[in-house]
Structure 1
Amino acid sequence: MALIARLSLAGASETDPEDFFSSALGIIFPDDVMNQHGSADQGLVYTSPRLPKPLHITLADPTADKDRYLFSHYLWNSSLLLAELVEAGTLGLSATGEFASPVQQDQAAVAVDAAPNRDFDIAGLATIELGASTALPSIMAALLGARHVVVTDYPSDVVMKTLRQNVVANTQPSFSPSGRIVAVEEGVQVEGHEWGELDTPLAIGHRHAFDRVFVADCLWIPGKHRDLRRSIGWFMKADAAARAWVVGGFHTGRGSMCGFFDEGELAREGLEIERIWERDCDGVDRAWVTDRGVEDSTERKRWLAVAVLKRVAST
């Protein structure tokens, strides 16, 4: 199933001719894939066959330049993929949505060093999302049994207001397959966090507090890679079982995002790559490379980098 198949538009129909053309690109040019979704006028409906009812996602309406440049007012394909991985791993699903044995999953993953779906199980774990935008992966984690869920984005008033609305509206027991939200005792928190700023109450109170760190489509600004790595290393638990799941699109160019995975710079924060691969919008995996030469922009939008980071093994 295509990555964006679960999405539909909500709200009033768009009337601008340019909007009509944009929304029809996938029909006019079948190879073109939308990698950002929604607008302030048209929210999104996310329908999973595993959830009792659809999620309704509102998009922020930023007016200040500094807020628009965050691009937090869209749902990105990276978030869609990470949410599906969390769902598949926690519910024991294969890539096709059927239940699969560990052996079957291993056989499917080994060719490109992709992590098997079962590795994305968040049941009973503490999670934090950095640069969450619409927080779809975190919402999925809360609905499927994470013990503690913290959702963060840049501390802009307009972004945080919409983020809180989405989390509150969609992390209700009626949306969960089990009919309950395990994280309700510790709370599903929404907090502002600027990457690399580690002297805030959130950072001081949650150092090495999370089993899993979610990062979806946060790699497009090379100048922020160091700060993002710092935040991941700070919040991720200092034990061998902790992981960070990083998914990023190539829409700004491979060169803009691949520097995040520099082994030496990751090691400075006590991190290393366990697995890294590429997946397209139809679920096809291929090996990760840092240079594919000249990449057509339409083809490039179809692919995402998926990485699993762990703590550097102690010597």
Structure 2
Amino acid sequence: MNALIARLSLTGQEANDPEDFFAASLGVIFPDDVTNQHGDADHGLLYTSPHLPRGIPLALAEVKSEDDRRLFSHYLWNASLLLAELIEAGTLGLTTTPTTPRDKGIAPPVGEFDVSGLKTIELGAGTALPSIMAGLLGTKRVVVTDYPSLPVLQTLKANVMSAVQPKFAPAERFAVEEVVVEGHGWGELDTPLAQGNRHAFDRVIAADCLWMPWQHGNLRRSIAWFLGKGEKARAWVVGGFHTGRDKVAAFFEKEALAEVGLEVEHLWERDCDGQDRDWVGDRGIEDVSERKRWLGVGVLKRIRKSVEGEERL
């Protein structure tokens, strides 16, 4: 088992379908292959951490319509696992991620992922594990959003509201004052949620939301809309390469980000065992199994222009 998914275990009824047995055995049959999505409507997940007093149960939405299924919000994805670990390590002051030591000089100091006292919003949350982790470790305000699909939002709200509770938090860390779960379609900025929260957040989170290139522009607009104007406001965007490196790279194109006033502060790659390497937008022909092991991790900030010696947005 790779280190990234070591904290996960399935809950629910035992598998009795031949396809379930086959899926559960893939790690043995193909030891170098990596599972990028986890759980289903019949088998929820339990996320455990040595730094939390108890495991966090996560249910997965039961989606029936084809439109809802195409959202892929009814799974937990590796990008969410990685971002949750970064938030935990940064906020609790761990010297490394909870998996393996990082290569030097590629990723920013893990302390930059400290969410203590901040206001966060997650876009395309799925199971919202990063937001749950932030809410347990000292975030002041947590807003969680996904596409306004009723079954997805119902499960998402149940997970978040039941998990962001003092009993799951380390001693003296729980400080959240408000938890909100609402629907948000990327780029739809005339809704009450968007109108009431423009530039309201210190951190905007998006995990494994980059597989739809036709939605990149809308996602960038939503990030820029919700991201605060303070000098320390940042967006954390993590995307797995399992659907293609080109899709992840396209989101981080300099000119496209600049159109909404954003730029990359940090961008690197991390694999499922915690090893880092430099970001490369095009690595040529890649072995699919190897490519699936890696994720792109980006930190975005607002572009600041110098005017008459002063810094302003």
**Normalising TM by the smaller chain, what interval?**
over 0.9
Instruction: Give the conservation status (yes or no) of the 8 Å contact 1:45–1:54.
Output: yes
Which one of the candidate residues 116, 135, 160 is aligned to 1:142? Answer: 135
- After the TM superposition, which residues 177-196 of structure 1 pair with which residues of structure 2 at under 5 Å, given as runs? 177-178=170-171, 181-183=174-176, 185=177, 187-196=178-187
Output one character per residue of 1:72-92: Cα deviation in whole Å (capped at 9) or x when no partner.
000000000000000000000
Normalising by structure 2, we get a TM-score of: 0.94
Check the 8 A contact 1:132/1:151 in 2, yes or no: yes
> Distance between the aligned counterparts of 1:257 and 1:20, measured in 2?
32
Name the amino acid aligned to 2:246: G
Rounded to whole Å, the distance in 2 between the matches of 1:304 and 1:123 is 25
Match of 2:310 in 1: none
Of 241, 264, 283, 1:250 maps to 241
Quote the sequence identity (%): 62
Q: Which amino acid aligns with 1:94?
A: T
Pick aligned residue for 1:152 from 140, 145, 148: 145
Match in the other structure for 2:311: none
1:286 matched to which residue of 2? 277
TM-score by length of 1: 0.94
Aligned counterparts of 1:73 and 1:96: Cα–Cα separation in 2:
26
Do 1:221 and 1:257's aligned partners in 2 also have CA atoms closer than 8 Å? no
Deviation of 1:181 after TM superposition, in Å, equals 3.3
- Give the Cα separation in 2 of the matches to 1:284 and 1:95: 11
Quick one: distance in 1 between partners of 2:28 and 2:98?
26
Which residue in 2 is equivalent to 1:173? 166
Q: Using a 3 Å threshold, how does the CA distance of structure 1 residues 38 and 89 change in structure 2: closer, same or farther?
A: same
Structure 2 residues without counterparts, runs of 5 or longer? 307-313
Correspondence 1:183-262 to 2 at 5 A: 183=176, 185=177, 187-262=178-253
How many residue pairs are counted as aligned between the two chains? 304
Matched position secondary structure for 1:251: helix
Amino acid at match of 2:37: Q
- Counterparts of 2:272 and 2:221 in 1: how far apart (Å)? 30
CA displacement at 1:179 relative to structure 2: 5.3
1:268 pairs with 256, 259, 277, which one?
259
Gapped regions of structure 1 (runs ≥ 5): 99-103
* In structure 2, C-alpha distance between the alignment counterparts of 1:130 and 1:66, rounded to whole Å: 18
Q: Secondary structure at the match of 1:182?
A: coil
Tell me which residue corresponds to 1:21: 22
| Between structures 1 and 2, the one with greater helix share | 1
Query: What are the residue-to-residue correspondences of 1:3-42 with 2, within 5 Å?
Result: 3-42=4-43
Moved more, 87-96 or 154-163: 87-96
Residue 151 and residue 88 in structure 1: after superposition, are their counterparts in 2 closer, same or farther (change >3 A)?
A: same
CA distance in 2, matches of 1:83, 1:314: 32
Q: Does residue 133 of structure 1 match 2:126?
A: yes
Q: Does the 8 Å contact 2:85/2:98 carry over to 1?
A: no
What is the root-mean-square deviation of aligned Cα atoms in Å? Answer: 1.4
Shift of 1:238: 1.2
Runs of 4+ residues over 6 Å off in structure 1: none
What SS does the corresponding residue of 1:282 show, helix, strand or coil?
coil
